[in-house]
A and B are shown apart, each in its own frame.
Chain A
Amino acid sequence: AQSVAQPEDQVNVAEGNPLTVKCTYSVSGNPYLFWYVQYPNRGLQFLLKYITGDNLVKGSYGFEAEFNKSQTSFHLKKPSALVSDSALYFCAVRDIGNQGGKLIFGQGTELSVKP
Protein backbone atom coordinates (compact mmCIF):
# COMPACT_ATOMS: atom_id res chain seq x y z
CA ALA A 1 0.00 0.00 0.00
CA GLN A 2 1.11 3.53 -0.72
CA SER A 3 2.01 5.70 2.25
CA VAL A 4 3.64 8.96 3.16
CA ALA A 5 5.31 9.91 6.44
CA GLN A 6 6.24 13.30 7.79
CA PRO A 7 8.40 12.46 10.80
CA GLU A 8 8.25 15.90 12.42
CA ASP A 9 5.01 17.35 13.77
CA GLN A 10 6.67 20.75 14.13
CA VAL A 11 9.71 22.51 12.74
CA ASN A 12 11.02 25.74 14.24
CA VAL A 13 13.33 27.99 12.24
CA ALA A 14 14.70 31.50 12.67
CA GLU A 15 13.92 33.98 9.91
CA GLY A 16 16.68 34.06 7.32
CA ASN A 17 17.86 30.54 8.07
CA PRO A 18 17.39 27.63 5.67
CA LEU A 19 14.46 25.34 6.34
CA THR A 20 13.77 21.68 5.62
CA VAL A 21 10.49 19.84 6.04
CA LYS A 22 10.95 16.10 5.75
CA CYS A 23 8.86 13.57 3.84
CA THR A 24 9.40 9.90 3.13
CA TYR A 25 7.22 7.70 0.98
CA SER A 26 6.46 4.09 0.21
CA VAL A 27 4.94 3.27 -3.17
CA SER A 28 4.83 0.48 -5.66
CA GLY A 29 5.85 1.79 -9.03
CA ASN A 30 6.84 5.33 -9.90
CA PRO A 31 6.10 7.92 -7.22
CA TYR A 32 4.17 11.07 -8.09
CA LEU A 33 4.86 13.39 -5.17
CA PHE A 34 3.34 16.69 -4.13
CA TRP A 35 3.78 19.38 -1.51
CA TYR A 36 0.92 21.58 -0.34
CA VAL A 37 0.77 24.42 2.18
CA GLN A 38 -2.19 25.35 4.35
CA TYR A 39 -2.48 28.73 6.02
CA PRO A 40 -4.89 29.09 8.96
CA ASN A 41 -8.55 28.73 7.96
CA ARG A 42 -7.61 28.31 4.32
CA GLY A 43 -7.60 25.49 1.80
CA LEU A 44 -4.52 23.68 0.59
CA GLN A 45 -2.34 25.52 -1.86
CA PHE A 46 -0.17 23.59 -4.31
CA LEU A 47 3.57 24.27 -3.98
CA LEU A 48 5.31 21.82 -6.27
CA LYS A 49 5.37 18.29 -7.60
CA TYR A 50 7.74 15.63 -8.80
CA ILE A 51 6.62 13.44 -11.69
CA THR A 52 9.80 12.61 -13.54
CA GLY A 53 13.06 14.20 -14.62
CA ASP A 54 15.33 16.45 -12.56
CA ASN A 55 15.51 15.41 -8.93
CA LEU A 56 15.46 19.03 -7.77
CA VAL A 57 12.03 20.53 -8.27
CA LYS A 58 11.37 24.25 -7.94
CA GLY A 59 8.01 25.57 -6.88
CA SER A 60 6.09 28.56 -5.64
CA TYR A 61 7.27 31.15 -3.07
CA GLY A 62 10.93 30.12 -3.38
CA PHE A 63 10.39 26.55 -2.23
CA GLU A 64 12.11 23.57 -3.76
CA ALA A 65 12.13 19.86 -3.07
CA GLU A 66 14.67 17.15 -3.63
CA PHE A 67 13.57 13.74 -4.81
CA ASN A 68 15.85 10.95 -3.57
CA LYS A 69 14.89 7.55 -4.89
CA SER A 70 17.41 5.54 -2.88
CA GLN A 71 16.26 7.12 0.39
CA THR A 72 12.60 7.28 -0.71
CA SER A 73 12.47 10.88 0.40
CA PHE A 74 11.05 14.12 -0.95
CA HIS A 75 12.15 16.85 1.46
CA LEU A 76 10.89 20.41 1.08
CA LYS A 77 13.50 23.15 1.34
CA LYS A 78 13.92 26.88 1.23
CA PRO A 79 17.27 28.69 1.44
CA SER A 80 16.04 31.59 3.58
CA ALA A 81 12.87 31.32 5.68
CA LEU A 82 10.36 34.13 6.08
CA VAL A 83 7.96 34.67 8.97
CA SER A 84 5.17 34.49 6.39
CA ASP A 85 6.20 30.88 5.61
CA SER A 86 4.72 29.83 8.95
CA ALA A 87 1.96 27.36 8.06
CA LEU A 88 1.02 23.69 7.93
CA TYR A 89 2.78 21.70 5.21
CA PHE A 90 1.56 18.46 3.69
CA CYS A 91 3.44 15.94 1.59
CA ALA A 92 1.30 13.66 -0.59
CA VAL A 93 1.65 10.89 -3.13
CA ARG A 94 -0.80 10.32 -5.94
CA ASP A 95 -2.22 6.78 -5.89
CA ILE A 96 -2.34 6.16 -9.62
CA GLY A 97 -4.88 3.54 -10.60
CA ASN A 98 -6.82 3.62 -7.36
CA GLN A 99 -9.84 5.66 -6.38
CA GLY A 100 -9.52 8.23 -9.10
CA GLY A 101 -5.85 8.81 -8.44
CA LYS A 102 -6.49 9.99 -4.91
CA LEU A 103 -3.85 11.76 -2.93
CA ILE A 104 -2.43 9.99 0.11
CA PHE A 105 -1.29 12.57 2.62
CA GLY A 106 1.22 12.66 5.40
CA GLN A 107 0.06 13.88 8.79
CA GLY A 108 1.35 17.40 8.20
CA THR A 109 4.22 19.44 9.64
CA GLU A 110 3.66 22.75 11.37
CA LEU A 111 6.39 25.19 10.36
CA SER A 112 7.04 28.11 12.68
CA VAL A 113 9.43 30.85 11.57
CA LYS A 114 10.41 33.32 14.29
CA PRO A 115 11.81 36.80 13.65
Chain B
Amino acid sequence: DAGITQSPRHKVTETGTPVTLRCHQTENHRYMYWYRQDPGHGLRLIHYSYGVKDTDKGEVSDGYSVSRSKTEDFLLTLESATSSQTSVYFCAISAVASTDTQYFGPGTRLTVL
Protein backbone atom coordinates (compact mmCIF):
# COMPACT_ATOMS: atom_id res chain seq x y z
CA ASP B 1 0.00 0.00 0.00
CA ALA B 2 2.73 2.46 -1.04
CA GLY B 3 4.06 3.22 2.43
CA ILE B 4 0.75 4.33 3.92
CA THR B 5 -0.63 3.10 7.21
CA GLN B 6 -3.89 3.93 8.90
CA SER B 7 -4.84 3.50 12.54
CA PRO B 8 -6.95 2.15 13.97
CA ARG B 9 -8.06 -0.34 11.32
CA HIS B 10 -11.37 -0.94 13.04
CA LYS B 11 -13.27 1.10 15.59
CA VAL B 12 -16.68 0.94 17.20
CA THR B 13 -17.83 4.03 19.05
CA GLU B 14 -20.98 5.61 20.39
CA THR B 15 -22.91 8.57 19.08
CA GLY B 16 -21.63 11.86 20.41
CA THR B 17 -18.07 10.79 21.15
CA PRO B 18 -15.05 12.31 19.41
CA VAL B 19 -12.98 10.03 17.20
CA THR B 20 -9.57 10.57 15.62
CA LEU B 21 -8.22 8.55 12.72
CA ARG B 22 -4.58 8.68 11.78
CA CYS B 23 -2.86 8.38 8.43
CA HIS B 24 0.91 7.99 8.27
CA GLN B 25 3.03 8.00 5.11
CA THR B 26 6.68 7.27 4.49
CA GLU B 27 6.79 8.61 0.91
CA ASN B 28 7.27 12.29 1.76
CA HIS B 29 4.40 13.21 -0.57
CA ARG B 30 3.05 16.73 -0.34
CA TYR B 31 -0.65 15.97 -0.82
CA MET B 32 -2.76 13.87 1.52
CA TYR B 33 -6.48 13.15 1.31
CA TRP B 34 -9.25 11.64 3.40
CA TYR B 35 -12.09 9.88 1.56
CA ARG B 36 -15.04 7.95 2.82
CA GLN B 37 -16.49 4.92 1.03
CA ASP B 38 -20.20 4.19 1.14
CA PRO B 39 -22.20 1.70 -0.95
CA GLY B 40 -23.53 3.28 -4.13
CA HIS B 41 -21.35 6.37 -3.76
CA GLY B 42 -17.88 5.17 -4.56
CA LEU B 43 -15.39 7.28 -2.60
CA ARG B 44 -15.98 10.93 -1.71
CA LEU B 45 -13.44 13.49 -0.56
CA ILE B 46 -13.76 14.74 3.03
CA HIS B 47 -10.68 16.95 3.43
CA TYR B 48 -7.26 17.25 1.90
CA SER B 49 -3.90 18.76 2.72
CA TYR B 50 -1.40 20.41 0.39
CA GLY B 51 1.37 20.85 2.95
CA VAL B 52 2.12 21.07 6.64
CA LYS B 53 -0.63 23.10 8.31
CA ASP B 54 -2.30 23.63 4.91
CA THR B 55 -5.68 21.94 4.66
CA ASP B 56 -8.97 22.52 2.89
CA LYS B 57 -12.46 21.06 2.66
CA GLY B 58 -13.72 18.44 0.30
CA GLU B 59 -17.27 17.72 -0.79
CA VAL B 60 -18.48 16.00 2.41
CA SER B 61 -16.61 17.89 5.14
CA ASP B 62 -19.46 18.66 7.57
CA GLY B 63 -18.78 17.11 10.98
CA TYR B 64 -15.10 16.49 10.25
CA SER B 65 -11.91 18.37 10.94
CA VAL B 66 -8.31 17.62 10.02
CA SER B 67 -4.83 18.54 11.06
CA ARG B 68 -1.37 18.10 9.60
CA SER B 69 1.51 19.09 11.87
CA LYS B 70 4.10 16.95 10.09
CA THR B 71 4.54 15.93 6.46
CA GLU B 72 4.01 12.29 7.29
CA ASP B 73 0.86 12.51 9.43
CA PHE B 74 -2.68 13.56 8.55
CA LEU B 75 -5.35 13.28 11.24
CA LEU B 76 -9.10 13.13 10.69
CA THR B 77 -11.33 14.00 13.65
CA LEU B 78 -15.03 13.40 13.98
CA GLU B 79 -15.90 16.02 16.53
CA SER B 80 -19.12 14.33 17.71
CA ALA B 81 -19.71 11.07 15.91
CA THR B 82 -23.10 10.33 14.38
CA SER B 83 -24.51 7.15 12.88
CA SER B 84 -24.32 8.72 9.41
CA GLN B 85 -20.54 8.72 9.79
CA THR B 86 -20.45 4.93 9.92
CA SER B 87 -18.28 4.23 6.91
CA VAL B 88 -14.92 3.03 5.67
CA TYR B 89 -12.33 5.80 5.67
CA PHE B 90 -9.39 5.84 3.30
CA CYS B 91 -6.33 8.01 3.30
CA ALA B 92 -4.55 8.72 0.03
CA ILE B 93 -1.31 10.43 -0.92
CA SER B 94 -0.02 12.10 -4.05
CA ALA B 95 3.22 13.85 -4.94
CA VAL B 96 1.49 16.52 -7.01
CA ALA B 97 -2.12 17.57 -7.56
CA SER B 98 -2.27 17.02 -11.27
CA THR B 99 -1.55 13.89 -13.26
CA ASP B 100 0.16 11.98 -10.50
CA THR B 101 -1.39 8.79 -9.16
CA GLN B 102 -3.07 8.83 -5.78
CA TYR B 103 -2.11 5.84 -3.63
CA PHE B 104 -4.43 4.58 -0.94
CA GLY B 105 -3.99 3.23 2.55
CA PRO B 106 -5.67 0.05 3.83
CA GLY B 107 -8.68 1.86 5.31
CA THR B 108 -10.37 2.22 8.70
CA ARG B 109 -13.79 0.70 9.26
CA LEU B 110 -15.70 2.93 11.68
CA THR B 111 -19.02 1.96 13.23
CA VAL B 112 -20.99 4.55 15.20
CA LEU B 113 -23.69 3.03 17.38
Interface, chain A (partner B; CB < 8 A): 4, 32, 34, 36, 42-46, 49, 51, 90, 92, 94, 96, 99-103, 105-108
Contact partners of B56 in chain A: CB under 8 A: 99-100
Is A101 touching B97 in the complex (CB atoms < 8 A)? yes
Question: What are 24 of the A-B contact pairs (CB < 8 Å)?
Answer: A4-B42, A34-B102, A43-B1, A43-B104, A44-B43, A45-B104, A49-B99, A49-B101, A51-B99, A90-B43, A92-B42, A96-B97, A96-B99, A99-B57, A100-B33, A100-B49, A102-B48, A103-B35, A103-B45, A103-B102, A105-B44, A107-B40, A107-B42, A108-B42
Most chain B beta carbons < 10 A, residue from A49, A51, A94, A101: A101
Is A100 touching B97 in the complex (CB atoms < 8 A)? yes
Interface size on B, residues (CB 8 A): 33
Tell me the smallest distance from the CB of A89 to a CB of chain B, in Å.
Answer: 11
Q: How far is the CA of A96 from the CA of B94 in the complex (A)?
A: 13
A94 and B43 contact, Cβ closer than 8 Å, known pairs A99-B56, A102-B33: no
Q: Which of A42, A46, A90 contacts B42 (CB 8 A)?
A: A90
Is A43 touching B105 in the complex (CB atoms < 8 A)? yes
Is B59 touching A99 in the complex (CB atoms < 8 A)? yes
0/1 per residue, B43-84, Cβ < 8 Å to A? 111001110000011110000000000000000000000000
A34 and B101 contact, Cβ closer than 8 Å, known pairs A42-B106, A99-B59, A102-B33: yes
Q: 4 closest pairs, A vs B, by CB?
A: A105-B42, A101-B97, A100-B48, A44-B104
